[in-house]
Amino acid sequence: MFKSQISRDEVRSAIEDKLCAQFGVTSKNATDDQVFRASAIVIREIMSRLLAFGEDKKPDREVHYLSMEFLMGRSLMKNAFNLGISEALIGALSDLGRNASDIFEEENDAGLGNGGLGRLAACYMDSMASLGIPATGYSICYELGIFRQKIQDGRQTEVADDWRSAAESWLVTRSDEAVEVRFGGHIVPHWDNYGHYHAEHVGYTTVTAVPRDMLIAGYKGETVNTLRLWDARSTTALDMYLFSEGEYVKSLEQRTMSEVITKVLYPADDHLQGKQLRLKQQYFFVSATVQCIVRKHMERYGDIRSFAEHHVIQINDTHPTLVIPELMRIFMDEYGLGWDEAWKIVTAAVAYTNHTVMSEALEKWPQELIQTLLPRVWEILCEINRRWCEYLRSKFGESEKVGRNLIIQDDGVHMANLCLAACFKINGVSALHGEILKTDLFRDVCSLTPERFTYVTNGIDHRRWLAQINPRLNSLVCDLLSSESYLQKPETLIRLADFADDTAVRDRVNEIKLLNKQDFAAFARKQDGFVLNTDAILDVQVKRLHEYKRQLMCAMLITRLQNLLHEQPNIDFTPRTFVFGAKAAAGYYTAKRIIELILSLADDVNHDPLCKGKLQVYFMENYRVSAAEALMPAAQVSEQISTAGKEASGTGNMKLMLNGAVTIGTLDGANVEMHERLGDKNMFLFGLHADEVTALKAAGYDPKAYAERDKELTAVLERFSRGFRDGKSYSDLVSGLLYGGDPYMLIADYRSYVETHDKMYASIADDGERARLSIINTAEAGIFAADRAVSEYAEGIWKIKL
């Protein structure tokens, strides 16, 4: 009845029906956008029926995955693929006189995320459904997702991205499950005859949280899970008195202030109003989620004390940490549990994934802000902190270890420390990251309860990031493995290594890569008007723009190559095109300056006659999931060059590896485990290790002295200061490196980087060796599938049997 049993004719008929019923048009006069929306409704209804039929198979234990980000990308082709009806859909669209690729292009990316954190959450939702794990994801239904990046006058500008207009076909509003979230007011204390404290919350304002559900079909459609996105609505649509008095704008003030909560992903927080809005977002999200989970639990089990037996709440980074005091509030204030009993349940139900060791990303909220906005939560936080302090003192005595691990300190509330106090498991996202958490960032608490600390190396949705986006390579893989088994058993990709020395297979791999580069060249021309040299090696660095990811160091390398071509125009030089894709946070000045420099450099190199046919630089405007899907199959070199010890894991490195790109990188994040699989023969490592970075800084690192010893580097930095053909100088970035301490060690790692780059290009200049490296990389990438990561969470943290 469903999934692959649905024929091409049935899909066509269903789309035609939706066009008539929903839009009042026929297939002949419908727009491509209407055909897309009708197709999405058809797919959504199939998933809704599967979800309804699965209701009687309610599991005894469920996962609740909380994340402020879910970078879902496009859903039409993905859901059709997982349901096994992608061929039927493509055929039906063809029968309707439509090109399927044109219809798929009508869908905007669901940009509910900023980068790797949100993309990881999306991959895990797919794997949880594909593995049959009963799970619900929770986040905010942002009206405007991650901004649309526009390049104007050689700079990044941010434009609002209204993703929801195209997403309406996927979202199911569940007004019957709406809840109220309270802000402000104050607490009136009451004591009963037994000496028990009761908190009465008065004078508060309320915001209605309305769930809008997006369904997630697992591979082969056996399980359909839900991503629940909370939309903020005002309890008062309009102040009629003010409106009747002619105060039209003021009459909408309460509504506007309520609905602004879900207006934008990550509002700027460099001012008080921004901080207040971010805190409101986080509490709105977790309060609505907890109320929903507890209500459904009580409807099914009727006993609040069994909550931890049936539910595990995984918080993705510190953004959802207020789930801890909110659970305590509901257990005590609404169900009458005592502190100890409530705390026992909470600490058995909540687990925490840390995603960063960067201090600025470990959230800290101003104490006064929480006191004002969340008075009851503040009371609970104070009591958690008091008891946590007593515990730490019992273990450490009057030590500095107590002070630095307190939840409330220096007029701030430290969210990571709250996780340390309450969560039954704390995990990093790669082996190196997990070790840093245990031996550095969280070393004090880890010494007390080491059994709580672990790691699960991140993973990617290999079905999307190979089978869907790289059909040519997928076809070859299936031919070589004699089946599609890798789609459910990604570890079987390792058998591809047996073909690494097969000349015919190598030739086929190179042919596929060339065809994929031609496809990407068409994408680049259509999107940005860029004419890509498909004969050049495609050297890629695509990720969020941050100083520690060191896009600037790659720009230094490119400038050095341009200088080299000027000094030795007849040098034997393997043609290469460097591709950047990155968005900088709107308020991150240095990151935006680095983008500006890369754009200036690209303009200079691409107009340089001595670089023509040899060196290109392409900055992809508005890098996003769908752009990554166009790029990854074509990529040949993967730049993973972050400062050792700064990248928690990375997932772009895994996607590029899966598609056969060779990696040049530092021993950082998941690069460590990639190197364990690939070895020096198949991966190119450079630079300081994490412990060496620490030691060099402790010894008094002087970047200026390093630079002065390297004439080639000095020439590069002088070029930055002097500027490019557009006349812009970047002396401020140079000064930050030479006189600002170079905190991310670009100067220290530069020489190792360029020498390793030269070594890598000497290797991949040979067609056969380049193909061999590509085969080995794809073969070894199976271990980095999200299915493996989710299985480790299920078995090691969630205690769910697969």
659 by DSSP, 3-state: which? coil
Please pick, among 37, 543, 719, 770, the residue that the annotation labels catalytic. 543
64 by DSSP, 3-state: which? strand
Please pick, among 353, 651, 663, 666, the residue that the annotation labels catalytic. 651
Tokens describing residue 470: 């790289």
Q: Mark whether 355 is an active-site residue.
A: yes
Distance CA 643, CA 744 (A): 6
Q: Mark whether 64 is an active-site residue.
A: no
Distance CA 215, CA 47 (A): 7
What are residue 502's phi and psi, to 5 degrees?
A: -80, 115
What are residue 666's phi and psi, to 5 degrees?
A: -90, 170
Q: Mark whether 759 is an active-site residue.
A: no
Q: Which helix (H) or strand (E) holds 619?
A: strand 615-620
Within 8 A by CB and 6+ apart from 601, the residues are: 555, 558, 559, 617, 724
Please pick, among 182, 233, 278, 355, the residue that the annotation labels catalytic. 355
Please pick, among 233, 280, 544, 772, the residue that the annotation labels catalytic. 544
Tokens describing residue 685: 């490592």
Tokens describing residue 450: 């080491």
Nearest to 425 by CA among 356, 352, 354: 352
Nearest to 529 by CA among 620, 614, 616: 620
Please pick, among 319, 462, 655, 770, the residue that the annotation labels catalytic. 655
DSSP bridge partners of 180 = 208
Nearest to 100 by CA among 12, 14, 221, 1: 12
Within 8 A by CB and 6+ apart from 505, the residues are: 476, 480, 499, 771, 775
Distance CA 491, CA 124 (A): 17
HSE at residue 793, side-chain half, CA atoms within 13 A, is 32
Residue found under tokens 């009580």: 298
Provide the sign of the torsion angle of the four alpha carbons 348, 353, 357, 363, taken in this order.
negative
DSSP bridge partners of 173 = 212
Which DSSP string do the residues of 294-350 spell out, in sequence order? HHHHHHHH--GGGHHHHEEEEEESSTTTTHHHHHHHIIIIIT---HHHHHHHHHHHE
Amino acid identity for residue 330 in this structure = I
Q: Mark whether 489 is an active-site residue.
A: no
Tokens describing residue 523: 């994408």
Largest Cα–Cα separation, the chain: 93
3, 78, 218, 627 from 44: Cα distances, Å: 12, 12, 13, 24
Q: What is the 3 state secondary structure string of 538-550?
A: EEEEECCCCHHHC
User: In which region does residue 442 sit, left (phi positive, over 0), alpha (psi from -120 to 50) or beta (all else)?
Assistant: alpha
11, 25, 95, 180, 674 from 33: Cα distances, Å: 17, 12, 17, 35, 42
The residues assigned a catalytic role are 355, 543-544, 549, 651, 655
